[in-house]
Amino acid sequence: MNSAALHHDKLTWIAIARLGLIQASLGAVVVLTTSVLNRVMVIELALPALLPGLLVAMHYLVQFIRPRMGFGSDQSGRSTPWIQGGMLVLASGGVLAAIAVGLMSESLPWGIALAIVAFMMIGLGVSASGTALLVLLAKRVDEKRKAAAASCVWLMMIFGFAMTAGISGRLLDPFSFERLVLVSLSVSCIAVVLSFTALYGLEPKVSKEITPNNNQAKLRFKEALADVWQESRVRRFTIFVFISMLAYSSQDLILEPFAGSAFGLTPGETTSLSGLQHAGVLCGMLLCGFVTNKSKSPSLSSLRMWTVGGCIASALAMLSLVMSGIVGPSWPFLGTVFILGVSNGAFSIAAIGSMMQFAGVGKEKREGVRMGVWGAAQAIAFGLGGILGTGASDLARYLLGDPVAAYASVFLIEAILFMAAAILSFYIRPVERVVQIEKQNTSISGRLISHGGSS
């Protein structure tokens, strides 16, 4: 065990930052496939935007397998092999995706076929490495540091997004498909090396157990999943994650078109608007992580307060966007977008902190399955969010005949979803209350046994 990384079996801030490097590496590979390759397919190859949209949605929907990945992490007793294996699959998928885009310029059918395989590999790699990383954080981070640790890891992932997009954008000029593959290969290799280096010595080795045959392993996974799903907290939190992340992701693809339609902003101005929103998200993440870490008695109750408050604030911000479409330029639109970002950042980090605490409550050795269920709900919500958001706005535009009113109607639906998520989060029982009840029940049972024995 690496004493520099561990203290009383809990991760230090240096160790947490090392896990953040892994998340940043993961984000670096993903951002090339979701942004750079997207642009190349639409602009350089003049392909329909639906194609990259479906490929990105596929990489989200493949993450339905996350509970199985989490179960594997539980069974092995270690997260490290799953993180390493996931990063190798993810990096390979990223390189194959770049090769597939180049192949599309020569043979579109073969290029699309290879891209499907590549994006499925990306989804599998993210499922394995991302789920195992969250399990490691949930098991080894002190309760007081849950939200702050989540903030640190997610901020480093965003940093990985930004740095990779900026550097790769410069390296791709002058553009060629050979250069695209070379940049993708370089990013993937750096991500793998950085991840393996950051993981070294973070997790103690455990004795290997006898590996069961495939049928028994499959049966036990079904049993583990059924056991976890019987827990009311898991079911409620899964629904909360899906609804909140659906509302969170549905506005990503329509906010900039709304700004252009309602306020006449130029493409450059709407891009700056997106930057303002993401700055708000970073502020919300930092604020939640800092306050919960500095609190004298941080608990899941305080995380729940941040989650509920963030969802309500997000709903109010969405209603403010609706009003901006009605009132027009006199409405403080830029301030609304920034507040929306702050609210989104605060509730998402609080929710992740709660997720990390909830993962260890219930039957033992089920942390990975629980984290996998919630990760799958989040991924599916993100995959559907962009499709449903744009589809609903198109339908509303057809029915209402006004693009501004169409976007505003979608914002209204998202506000309702955020309020529903806030209500769900409010009624999810805090861990402290569960432990207290369990102790009371144990105490009562002990007194009854003692009384029965004495009589």
At 155-175, the pLDDT tens digits run: 888 877 777 777 887 788 888
Q: What is the 3-state secondary structure (H, E, C) of the chain?
A: CCCCCEECCEECHHHHHHHHHHHHHHHHHHHHHHHHHHHHHHHHCCCCCHHHHHHHHHHHHHHHHHHHHHHHHHHHCCCHHHHHHHHHHHHHHHHHHHHHHHHHCCCHHHHHHHHHHHHHHHHHHHHHHHHHHHHHHHHHCCHHHHHHHHHHHHHHHHHHHHHHHHHHHHHCCCCCHHHHHHHHHHHHHHHHHHHHHHHCCCCCCCCCCCCCCHHHHHHHHHHHHHHHHCCHHHHHHHHHHHHHHHHHHHCCCCHHHHHHHHHCCCHHHHHHHHHHHHHHHHHHHHHHHHHHHHCCCCCHHHHHHHHHHHHHHHHHHHHHHHHHHHHCCCCCHHHHHHHHHHHHHHHHHHHHHHHHHHCCCCCCCCHHHHHHHHHHHHHHHHHHHHHHHHHHHHHHHHHHCCHHHHHHHHHHHHHHHHHHHHHHHHCCCCHHHHHHHHHHHHHHHHHHHHHHHHC
Tens-place pLDDT, residues 279-308: 888 899 888 888 877 765 545 567 888 899
pLDDT value of position 413 = 93
Cα–Cα distance for residue pair 394/407, rounded to 1 Å: 9
The pLDDT value given to residue 299? 56
pLDDT, mean over the chain? 82
pTM to 2 decimals?
0.79
- Domain ranges for the chain: 1-202, 220-443
> Do 1-202 and 220-443 fold alike per CATH?
yes
- Mean pLDDT of the 416-435 span: 77
Contact 222, 228 (CB under 8 A): no
Q: What is the mean predicted confidence (pLDDT) over 135-156?
A: 81
Q: Is the pLDDT of residue 437 over 50?
A: no
CA distances from 215 to 74, 211, 212, 222, 360 (A): 17, 11, 8, 11, 27
Lowest mean pLDDT among 163-167, 176-180, 194-198, 435-439: 435-439
**What is the reported pLDDT for 429?**
66
Q: Give the mean model confidence (pLDDT) for residues 239-246.
A: 93
What homologous superfamily is domain 1-202 in, according to CATH?
A: MFS general substrate transporter like domains (1.20.1250.20)
Residues whose CB falls within 8 Å of the CB of residue 155, separated by 6 or more in sequence, listed in order: 20, 282, 285, 286
Q: What is the mean pLDDT of residues 18-42?
A: 86
Q: Which of the pair, 445 or 56, is modelled with greater confidence?
A: 56
Q: Where does the pLDDT of residue 216 fall: very low under 50, low under 70, confident under 90, or very high at 90 and above? A: very low
- pLDDT for 206 equals 60
**CATH number belonging to domain 220-443:** 1.20.1250.20
For residues 421 and 251, the answer to whether their CB atoms sit within 8 Å is no
Q: For residue 129, is pLDDT > 60?
A: yes
pLDDT at 30 over 80: yes
pLDDT band at 438 (very low <50, low <70, confident <90, very high): very low
Are the C-beta atoms of residues 154 and 21 closer than 8 Å to each other?
no
Stronger pLDDT, 373 or 267, i.e. the higher one: 373
Is the CB of residue 384 less than 8 Å from the CB of residue 64? Answer: no
List residues bridging with 11 in a β-sheet: 6
Name the band, by pLDDT with cuts 50, 70 and 90, for residue 439: very low
pLDDT at 259: 86
Does the pLDDT at position 433 exceed 50?
A: no
- 300-332 tens-digit pLDDT: 567 888 899 999 999 999 999 999 988 888 899
- What is the pLDDT at residue 145? 77
Q: Look at the alpha carbons of 383, 385, 390, 392 in this order and tell me if their dihedral is positive or negative.
A: positive
Q: Tell me if 192 sits within 8 A of 92, measured CB to CB.
A: no
